[in-house]
Structure 1
Amino acid sequence: MRFIIFATIFFSVMALLTFFISKRFVDKVHFSKSVKRYFNIFLLINLFGVLAYMFVRYNPFVPNWVYFLLSLPIGVIFLLFIATIIYEFFSRIINKSVPNEKRRDFFRKSLDIGSILIASSVNAKAMYNARHIEIEKVQIKINKLKQKYKIIQLSDIHIGGLVNKNFIHNLVEKVNKLNADIVVITGDLVDTKLDYAKAALDELKNLKSKYGVYFIVGNHEYFHGVNEIITYVNSLNIKTLENENVFIGEQEEGFYLAGVYDIFGYKADAFKPDLKKALNKTQNFPRVLLAHQPKFVNEIKEDIDLILCGHTHGGQIAPFNLLVRLQQPYIKGLNQHTKNTQVYVNKGTGFWGPPMRLGASSEISEITLTPN
């Protein structure tokens, strides 16, 4: 029932945006009626692609090329909606600032053609960005740390559909070339039924690091059987940190790595985060905490040297990052939370929904901890 309500509201919003694009963009461009009709037919087909996508999203039984086509409409609608708003803005400027009718007509037609070309190019660029993962290198100074450590952070991989066995195989190869001391995965690893995800998850057994691979759950794990996912991930020689900590490094020269359940556990009334338990007996060493959502910092009342988060995707498709900012205190990158606490937010290694990224690249974080 919860899914039906969500799907109804989501589809209604997509339908309203499509109607807005049709009336305020397609119907206003200076093209022939037949061209406009084809554009509107495309918008209608694209809209029903949203319905089909919601049906196959968590049951990816269709061929990969079909899944790819069905995953695009949400991103296309969002980007065309932004393009329509920009088109409206410049169209009004032309109407008010160009008194000569012939010149105004020339500028209008130029705006029409330019808008179509730019919208098409932006959609293509966004699709390209989602499939190319960048390595973000950052050095972070940590108090009381005795030697350097390299952490590779992955986050928000969202296994399911296009993020499949081949995607994870290539990701593992990239990570292994970085010679990590530890690899951490900060939630939203699985985003489909576990049976569909196992082939891709099995590739993670090949991750290599000096002190191990560690995982915390994100909010999406709660949608697909969080207990079963934890059990399976642990079977891959990956340690799930369940409100607990481990010591990383050599005796007296390392740091504590702690991890908590996601705050979605409060809504689910299960697998709730317990920071006090996670930090038990860690006070005399540097501490790095894995917490899926950046807004978990609101629950932290003591100094933690570094908090590694994900969840935001960096906004994934600009200017959606402006809306994410309303919910999360930090969107991406390294942030100074307090005098002694820093927060690093990974922009996401995979993607959610449409295979598109604009203004926020897919990311493998190469974090070097250095003594301060």
Structure 2
Amino acid sequence: MRFMIFATIFTIVFILMSLYISKRFIKKLHFKKRYKNYLNYFLIMNIFGIIGYMIFRRYPIVPNEIYFLLSIPIGILFLLFSTAIIYDIFSYLINTSIKDEKRRDFFKRSLDIGSIAIAGSINAKAMYNAKHIEIEKVDVKIKDLKKPYNIVQISDVHIGGLVDKNFISSLVKTINTLNADIIVITGDLVDTNLIYAKEALNELKKLKSKYGSYFVVGNHEYFHKVENIITYVNSLGIKVLENENVYIGEKNLGFNLAGVYDIFGYSYGSYKPDIKKALKNKQNSPTVLLSHQPKYLEELKSTKEIDLILSGHTHGGQIVPFNLLVKLQQPYIRGLYKHNNTTQIYVNKGTGFWGPPMRLGASSEITLLKLTSID
């Protein structure tokens, strides 16, 4: 039921965006009516693509080639909507600031052609970017850390559809070259029915690190029977941290690694985050907390016991200018921040993608965090 409500609202939003594109962009173009009709038909096709995407995201039983065609309309319409807003602004400026009719007509036609060309180029560039995962190397100074550690973080992989066994196999091979002490996965690993994700998840058994791999759930796991996903990920030899902590490294030389459920658990009614329980009986050493959403930081009355928080969820905005909307909902979007005198937070931009296989202004990433002591 939650998924049906989400899918309905999601589709309605894109229908409204398409109406804006049609009325405020396509209708104003100095093109023949026939070409404008073609563009409107293209919008309608994209809406049907989004409906198909919402169906097959949950049940990915179609070939990847078809799934690709169903997934890109989300990105196309969003970027066209952004283009339409910018077009609207420049069109208004041209009409109000240029008095000479011939000059105004010249600039207007140039704007029309330029807008279509730029929109097409940006969409192509965004699809190209999504195919390439960058390794972000980040140095983090931790107070009282006795020896250095390498943490490899991935987040928001979103297994399902285009993020399949081949994607995960390639990802694992890259991670295994990074000499990780531990590997952490900060939520939204699975974004489909578990039965369709198992083949890809099984590839994670091949992850190699000195002290193991750890996982906390994100909001998307709750859409697909979170309890079953937790059980299966544990069976892969990846420890799911469920409001608990473990000690990493040799005695008195390591750090506490804690993890909490996602804040979506409040709406779900169970599997709720509990920081007190997560930090219970931790050792007198630095503490790293895994929490899917950076926003959870705002719920912590005190962060004095936590040295570093590792999060994801935001995708770094994934497609500009969506990052501006993410900023309204999350305190941090990407990268390393000093939250206060005792706590830092790192937000991973996401290793996979949600929705369209597109990224613009926010590359996919594998994070290599090098933890060292403050001199």
Per the TM alignment, residue 283 of structure 1 is displaced from its structure 2 partner at its CA by 5.1
Residue 357 (structure 1) aligned with residue 359 (structure 2): yes
Aligned residues: 372
Percent identity (aligned): 67
Matched residue, 1:285: 285
Q: Is residue 247–residue 283 contact of structure 2 (8 Å, CA) maintained in 1?
A: no
Q: How do 1:173-188 and structure 2 match up within 5 A?
A: 173-188=173-188
Matched residue, 2:10: 10
2: distance between equivalents of 1:204 and 1:26?
A: 47
Per the normalisation by structure 2, the TM-score is 0.97
Residue 24 (structure 1) aligned with residue 37 (structure 2): no
Gaps of 5+ in 1: none
Give CA deviations for 1:25-76 in whole Å, capped at 9, x if unaligned: 1111111111111111111111111111111111010111000000011111
Per the TM alignment, residue 365 of structure 1 is displaced from its structure 2 partner at its CA by 0.7
Residue 302 (structure 1) aligned with residue 303 (structure 2): yes
Residue 142 (structure 1) aligned with residue 139 (structure 2): no
Change (3 A) 1:262 1:2: closer
Give CA deviations for 1:295-329 in whole Å, capped at 9, x if unaligned: 11122213110000011111111111111111111
1: distance between equivalents of 2:348 and 2:241?
A: 18
Secondary structure of the 1:222 match is helix
Change (3 A) 1:371 1:2: closer
Q: How do 1:331-342 and structure 2 match up within 5 A?
A: 331-342=333-344
Per the TM alignment, residue 9 of structure 1 is displaced from its structure 2 partner at its CA by 2.3
Per the TM alignment, residue 170 of structure 1 is displaced from its structure 2 partner at its CA by 0.6
Give the counterpart letter for 1:222 in structure 2: Y
* 276-285 or 187-196: bigger deviation: 276-285
Gaps of 5+ in 2: none
Secondary structure of the 1:220 match is helix
Matched residue, 1:204: 204
2: distance between equivalents of 1:151 and 1:10?
A: 36
1: distance between equivalents of 2:59 and 2:93?
A: 47
Residue 79 (structure 1) aligned with residue 79 (structure 2): yes
Residue 323 (structure 1) aligned with residue 325 (structure 2): yes
Q: How do 1:148-163 and structure 2 match up within 5 A?
A: 148-163=148-163
CA RMSD of aligned residues (A): 1.1
Q: Is residue 303–residue 342 contact of structure 2 (8 Å, CA) maintained in 1?
A: no
Q: Is residue 3–residue 223 contact of structure 2 (8 Å, CA) maintained in 1?
A: no
2: distance between equivalents of 1:3 and 1:155?
A: 22
Secondary structure of the 2:58 match is coil
Give the counterpart letter for 2:303 in structure 1: E
Residue 168 (structure 1) aligned with residue 168 (structure 2): yes
Residue 251 (structure 1) aligned with residue 251 (structure 2): yes
Q: Is residue 187–residue 313 contact of structure 2 (8 Å, CA) maintained in 1?
A: yes
Per the TM alignment, residue 241 of structure 1 is displaced from its structure 2 partner at its CA by 0.8
Secondary structure of the 1:183 match is strand
2: distance between equivalents of 1:299 and 1:4?
A: 29
Give the counterpart letter for 2:239 in structure 1: K
Per the TM alignment, residue 5 of structure 1 is displaced from its structure 2 partner at its CA by 3.0
Q: Is residue 2–residue 223 contact of structure 2 (8 Å, CA) maintained in 1?
A: no
Per the TM alignment, residue 158 of structure 1 is displaced from its structure 2 partner at its CA by 0.4
Q: Is residue 261–residue 274 contact of structure 2 (8 Å, CA) maintained in 1?
A: yes
2: distance between equivalents of 1:6 and 1:272?
A: 21
Give the counterpart letter for 2:312 in structure 1: G
Secondary structure of the 2:135 match is strand
Residue 271 (structure 1) aligned with residue 304 (structure 2): no
2: distance between equivalents of 1:71 and 1:27?
A: 26
2: distance between equivalents of 1:37 and 1:302?
A: 57
